[in-house]
Amino acid sequence: MKLFYSPFHSFVHKSLVAAHEAGLWDQIEWVPTYPFKNRAGEDQGDRYSIGAINPLNKVPTLALDDGQVVYGSQAIIECLDSMSRSGTRIYPPAGAARWDAITRLALADTMFELTVALVMEGWHPPAQQRRALFEWIWPKLIRGFDALEAAARRGFDGFDAGHAGMLQAVSYLDFRARFYEAKDPLYPDFDWTEGRPALQAWWEEAVQRPSVRSHHGKDFEGDDSAEFCQAKVREVLAAQARGGR
Ligand SMILES: N[C@@H](CCC(=O)N[C@@H](CS)C(=O)NCC(=O)O)C(=O)O
């Protein structure tokens, strides 16, 4: 199977965490995809577009060997979890633990997407940035971090899909990841660790997991050309054609 994803390893990717936890790391062909190089005016048009296999043209996107495409990171990690070869499952069975895990996943993933929106807004010159957007998003992020701190204080039992989402969301906003540098008009020096010792302690332990160390902080080595990406899109389309999809 192929995973189309952006190989910036300064933050934790939950789909890579899920693949590693499931013992599927070696079953995956990594296809570097840079969705924002598709923006008009930057780079060369749609060189990395995966719109032919995912109408949203978003990463991550998983393509199974029979051509079935799974997108939406929650769908991807649930799919990987269902194929686990390691015996580890990050989706608990139906019940309180599952509702807690998928609710934390929803929180973390929304925090991640809101941070993506801030990053994109930050690409505009300061005078053109919409202050109202920052004023709308920041209270959600701060309450979100506070909710994660409260959850960490109550304590966690094991490692689940929500934790994978937390690793991604927290690391993406972290100033050390350099995705969101000190240029925010409201919180230029935001440091999520301040006043959140339980979350920080959880983070420091969680990043030691082999599934995180597999990629976090490591440069991607391999072909990340647009030609490679497009060749892999064509392979997915060919598999779909063979299967009558
Ligand atoms: N809901 C999606 C969000 C994924 C997402 O926001 N991906 C971004 C990269 S960080 C993307 O591909 N953006 C390209 C675009 O929106 O055109 C998921 O969880 O998979």
Q: How far does the centroid of ligand 1 lie from the alpha carbon of residue 168, in Å?
A: 13
102 and 197 share one domain: yes
Per-residue pLDDT tens for 122-180?
A: 888 888 999 999 999 999 999 999 999 999 999 999 999 999 999 999 999 886 666 66
Q: Are residues 66 and 124 in the same domain?
A: no
Based on the fold, state whether residues 188 and 159 are members of the same structural domain.
yes
| 117 and 72 inside one domain | no
Residues 209 and 223 in one domain: no
CATH at residue 79: 3.40.30.10
Residue owning the nearest CA to atom 13 of ligand 1: 58
SS3 string, the chain, reads CEEEECCCCCCCCHHHHHHHHCCCHHHCEEEECCHHHHCCCCCCCCCCCCCCCCCCCCCCEEECCCCCEEECHHHHHHHHHHCCCCCCCCCCCCCHHHHHHHHHHHHHHHHHHHHHHHHHHCCCCHHHCCHHHHHHHHHHHHHHHHHHHHHHHHCCCCCCHHHHHHHHHHHHHCHHHCCCCCCCCCCCCCCCCCCCHHHHHHHHHHCCCHHHHCCCCCCCCCCCCHHHHHHHHHHHHHHHHHCCC
The predicted-structure confidence for 43-68, as pLDDT tens digits, reads as follows 555 899 999 999 999 999 999 999 99
Q: Which domain covers residue 171, as residue numbers?
A: 96-213
Q: Calculate mean pLDDT across residues 228-245.
A: 95
CATH number at residue 167: 1.20.1050.10
CA of 214 to the centre of ligand 1 (A): 22
Report which ligand 1 atom has the smallest distance to the Cα of 113: 6
* Total structural domains within the chain: 2
Both 204 and 231 in one domain: the answer is: no
Place 197 in a pLDDT band, splitting at 50, 70 and 90. Answer: very high
The pLDDT assigned to 184 comes to: 86
Query: Do residues 204 and 226 both lie within one domain?
Result: no
